[in-house]
Amino acid sequence: MQSFELDRSDLQRIKVALEGTDADLQEVLGQYHSSQIAILFDKLLPEERERIINILPTEDASEVIAEMEEEQDAAELLVNLAPEKRSEIVEELDYDDATDLIAQLDESDQQEILGDLDEEDASNIRTLLSYKDDTAGGLMNTQLIKVNTQLTKNEALEEIIRLSEEMEEFYTLYAVNDEDKLMGILSLKDIIKAKKQVTVAELVNTDFVFVKADLDQEEVAKLISQYNLTSVPVVSDDMKLLGRITVDDIIDVLQEENTEDILKISGVSEDEELAGKWQDAIKSRLPWLVINLATAFLAASVIRSFDDVAKKLPVISAYMVIIAGMGGNAATQALAVTVRRISLSDLTDQQAYSTVRKEFLVGMINGAATGLIVFVVAMFYDANPMLGLVMFLAMTGNLIVAGLTGATIPLLLKRVGIDPAVASSIIITTFTDCVGFLMPLWFATKLLL
């Protein structure tokens, strides 16, 4: 059994082989899986990648390109190949993979590649290009196996065999009528076991899940996960069968959506690629940092309002930093959990209320526990029990606010149609910083001065 683990020695072997003849390189490449070669491409120069793709058989080359991550510039690699090699690779790819690659190119390169393809392949790819990337239509593959409901068992088997010749694998068979409208799904096992005179119409399962072409890809992922499907058919508004979405496509969607949410919560635009240039990173992040700076000035104004307290009790400044920082961490925890819950399902009013109530309780208990630690430190280190009490109250209060805002803000933003992953972190940081400074200063004014 072949091991899929890679280390530096594998990269070194490829590098050494690249210095030799094409035959030597081909022999070394034959020892690696396509996905391994795609991973190793991360460490190779563009011209080295191009040479490897040209040497590999078309089937292997197409698999390598399909396995490459978007930031590895697979589309650019493709467009730099000789037209004949490029066309062979594109025609070997599944339509959805080919469409994803071609969609990354500018209009002129797209038309050049499509113009070199077989008419049927070009037509299918053009159809897929017409759908938005993040919808079921943009995600689907038009290659599928469908049979007419009027066919007999033997006729259906002949059609399945004919259509499967150009497909690597298929999970489900689809039954359609004369107008190509989806009537249901079929089990290959049922067709094989059926008697000769039985028609497809008698074997159709009409209780099935389907999606419309304009459905968001995240909703498609939820459906496939909810019903444990290996594939789902995509239909038009009038139920005409357009294509299918398979579970391997959904794995990519889930990874993409999770990465997008992590970047958004961190204040990074989804437009910034993980391996993008530094100029793109600045363009993406600087606006959020400017907004954060404005909110920081707001928090600083709270301190200015209690200037006398800070002068009379300098030690309070050190504790304020701790309380504000703890509030920020607690709010981020509550935010991450809430945004994740929202992304998994639309919360009912009762579920939203339960989420907020839970985070309030967690914030109160965690605040009291950490506040007690701060109380002990203040009492023994600063020999000031009243200072400890002030910090205990401030810590408890700020973590309660952190839990409430971390849960409430994304829910409110979702309710008004704003992506909670984008705007929540800035609002919550403002709340926890302001309250983290306000509470110790206010309690100090009431209890210490």
Cα separation of 85 and 134, whole Å?
29
Residues 196 and 153: beta-carbon distance below 8 Å: yes
List of residues 6+ apart from 246 with CB closer than 8 A: 141, 171, 230, 231
DSSP state letter for 292? H
| Residues 65 and 101: beta-carbon distance below 8 Å | yes
- Give CA–CA dist 274/215, Å, rounded: 27
Helical (H) or strand (E) element with 147: strand 146-148
For residue 83, the SS3 value is helix
* Average pLDDT for runs of 10 along the chain of length 449: 67 91 91 91 91 94 88 87 93 90 91 92 92 91 93 93 82 92 92 91 93 91 86 94 89 69 57 58 72 79 81 84 89 84 75 90 95 92 89 94 90 81 73 87 86
CA separation for the pair 338, 349 (Å, rounded): 14
Rounded Cα distance between 375 and 377, Å, is 5
Place of tokens 């920082």: 325
DSSP 3-state of 109: helix
The per-residue pLDDT for 165 is 83
Sequence-distant (6+) residues with CB within 8 A of 32 are 10, 40
Q: What is the CATH T-level fold of the domain 146-246, as seen in this structure? A: CBS-domain (3.10.580)
For residue 433, the surrounding DSSP H or E stretch is helix 420-447
Tokens representing 296 are 């920081």
Report the half-sphere exposure of 354 (CA within 13 A, side-chain side): 6
Q: What is the pLDDT of residue 70?
A: 72
**Contact between residue 378 and residue 414 where contact means Cβ atoms under 8 Å apart:** no
The yes/no answer on whether domain 8-130 falls in CATH 1.25.60.10 is: yes
278-447 shares the fold of 146-246: no
Token readout for 419 is 């992506």
Contacts of 175 (CB under 8 A, 6+ apart): 146, 147, 148, 149, 182, 183, 184, 185, 186, 200, 201, 203, 204
Arch. (CATH architecture) of 278-447: Orthogonal Bundle (1.10)
Which residues 6+ apart lie within 8 Å of 263 measured at CB? 269, 270, 272
Instruction: Please tell me the distance from the alpha carbon of residue 241 to that of residue 142, in angstroms, as a whole number.
Output: 9
Per domain, the residue ranges of the chain are 8-130, 146-246, 278-447
Q: Does residue 432 contact residue 324 with C-beta atoms inside 8 Å? A: yes
